[in-house]
Structure formats: C-alpha cells, structure tokens
Amino acid sequence: MYQFLELQAETDVLGRLADPQAEREFQADRQPATRRRLRFICAITATAYLGAAYADSTMLSGPPLSLLIAARCLAALTGLIPLFLSFNKKALASDMGLAAGLYMAVVMASECLELYLKADIAVLRETPITAYIVLTFYLFQPPQIWQSILCGGLGSVAYMLTLAFFTNAASGHVVNTALVFCLTNGFGLYFCIRFGTAQRREYVALTELKRQAETDVLTGLLNRRRVNELCEREFRAAKRYGHPCSLLLMDIDHFKAVNDAAGHAAGDAVLSALAERCSLILRMVDIFGRIGGEEFAVFMPHATGEQALLAAERIRQAVADEPFTADGKPFPVTVSIGGAAMASETDSLDSLFRRADDALYAAKRCGRNRVHF
C-alpha cells in the first residue's frame, strides 16, 4: 500500500545512511542531480584533457608524444561511458559510479604515464595539476564515497611512486608533493563525508515532513487529501488505458459506543489496530487511507468488482472474527463496507465515490456488518 517508511537520520563513518534501504531511496532521489553533475564533469575534464595534447607537443615528439596522445584519447573515450550512462534513465546509481570510477582510474594512469615520459625533460616544482584532478573527483560527489577513496587514494599513491622511482625529482620535491596529495585526499574525504551527511539529513527531514503532511497521525495511514490525490491519479490512468479499478468505503459500526463505554483512548486504540489488521489483507498497490473519524477508503487499481468484493469480505471477516483489545478489555467491532467498480459510464472519481457511498449506506440500512456492492 501507499505508505511512507519511517526513515532514520543515523549515518555511518562515511556519511551514508545506516539503513541500507533508506540509503538506496536517497540515491534514487538524488539521481537527477547526480546525472547532471556526471555530465558536467565528464564533458569538462575530457575536453580539457584532450586540449592538454597541445602542451605535450611542445615538450615531446616521436613515439613518446604518440603514446601520450593515445593515453589522453583513451581517457577521453572512457569518459564517454559515464556520460552516456547519465542519459540512460534505466542506469542505476551504482552503474554510473563504477563508470565514473573507471574513468578516474584511466585518467590517473595517464597522469602517471605523462610524468614518466616527461621525467627527463623537467620536473615541475609547482603543485602538480594531478592533485586538482583528484580533488575534482571528490567534489563531484559520486554516488558512493568509496569510489572517490579508491580512485583518489590509489591514484595518488601511483603518482607518488612514479615521481619517486621513475623521475630525477629531488627528495624535497617528492616530500612536498606527497604532502599536497595528503591534503587533497584529506580535504576531499572530509568534504564528501560532511556534505554527504548534510544532504542525507536534509533528505530524511524533508521526507519526514512529507510523511507527516500526507499521513493520518493516529493510524499512520494516508490522510484524506493524499487519498484523493492518489485516487485521482490512478482513476485517470484506469480510464486512459482501460484498466479496471474499484473503490471500497468502510465505516465502523456503532463506533460511538466504544468511545462512550471506554473513552476516546480506547477508541483510538481500536482505530489503530483496525488499520493494521486491514493493511495485512490489502495489496501493496492498494491505496488505503482514513478519510474521516471512523471511515476508511480503499482504492484498488487493476481490480474488478468481483475481486474487490472478495477483498471486502475478507476485511469484514478479519474485523468481526476477533475482538479488539484496549486497556486489557475486549471490544467486539464490526464494519460495514460499500463498494463500486468503475464502469464505462463512470466519468469521474467523484461519481465512483458517490456510488460507493450509496452502497455503504445500503449496507448500514440492511443491518450493518456486511458488504454491499
């Protein structure tokens, strides 16, 4: 049924939501923004990386230049993989993250190759541009932080090993470069964790606000406004594609007697227990909500009148067969249910509600504790 899962804002040491299901929902919610960032970073870095071939031509020639240009082209082509995935709506966040990680690994390998090929020409004393590439990948905020840690960390180690063992760099320059990469990875990791944690807590807070705005506080079911919105959407889809759908309206019989006999607290307990009992019977796609004091609605997409009638009878029996308990006292409860299936002449959701409401009153007139269709 349409219900919100209660999310928790607890995060692990990497800033991810501790609940795996909540983390997957967060990733799904952030996919549009992730796709936009991925397109931007791939387009910018690939273009810049290919543009650096001009600088290579001023320092290298012959086979070394051809090898380096081939490596740059390979990196740019690898960047097309995450770029194309960002336009594929069926691609998962994990797929895009793996593709971005592969792209970063190829870029870092090309950087190491460039450092090796230019080792005999000059050793730059300024901060290596590779550190900025590593930092860019952290700031890009890939779907999973471990992709940044793996590619950024291992790429930095590979670069430092190349600098230390395959160039004529002075020991002081090697140490300074190592400090730069340590700061780059440290700041990038700190940013990823803190910013990722803030994003997730904001997502949980907004989801909770949405849940509170769309659910009934007492029963945890959808409230009347949300039921109407979802029913209208499903009704239009059914009319457009010719799918069957049905509506059930349910009212607790003589509910005022429960409140008068045991107080409103007992009545609230009965309402909550009834909602839970009925939820176990309904399908995940059914829209189940509380639309009044003791009145509930169930909209059943892709359900014919016969199927809805069987579901309504199961609900009626589940409620009537076992008394509800409040404050240690049993309370026998029954419900009257009115139902209506969408027909060819049903032109609006209001019309379907009126027919179901008429059937509900007919069930009450016929003695209650029954289903009328």
pLDDT one-digit tens code per residue, 208-234: 888 888 889 899 899 999 999 999 999
290-324 pLDDT per residue, tens: 998 899 999 999 999 999 999 999 999 999 999 88
- Confidence grade of residue 337 (pLDDT, cut at 50, 70, 90): very high
Place 4 in a pLDDT band, splitting at 50, 70 and 90: very low
Closest CA to 277 of 225, 238, 220, 232: 220
Give the contacts of 108 (CB within 8 A, at least 6 positions apart): 130, 133, 134, 151, 154, 155, 156, 158, 159
**pLDDT tops 80 at residue 127:** no
On the question of pLDDT at 122 being above 60, the answer is: no
pLDDT classification of 198: cutoffs 50, 70, 90: confident
Cβ within 8 Å of residue 234, ≥6 positions away? 245, 287, 299, 301
- pTM of the full predicted structure? 0.65
Task: Assign 329 a pLDDT band (cuts: 50, 70, 90).
Answer: confident
Confidence band of 2 (pLDDT split at 50, 70, 90): very low
Which pLDDT does position 294 carry in this prediction? 92
Quick check: 3 pLDDT over 70?
no
Integer Cα distance of 300 and 279 in angstroms? 13
pLDDT band at 124 (very low <50, low <70, confident <90, very high): low
| pLDDT tens for each residue of 277-297 | 999 999 999 999 999 889 999
Token digits for 250?
């349910």
Across residues 86-102, what is the average pLDDT?
A: 84
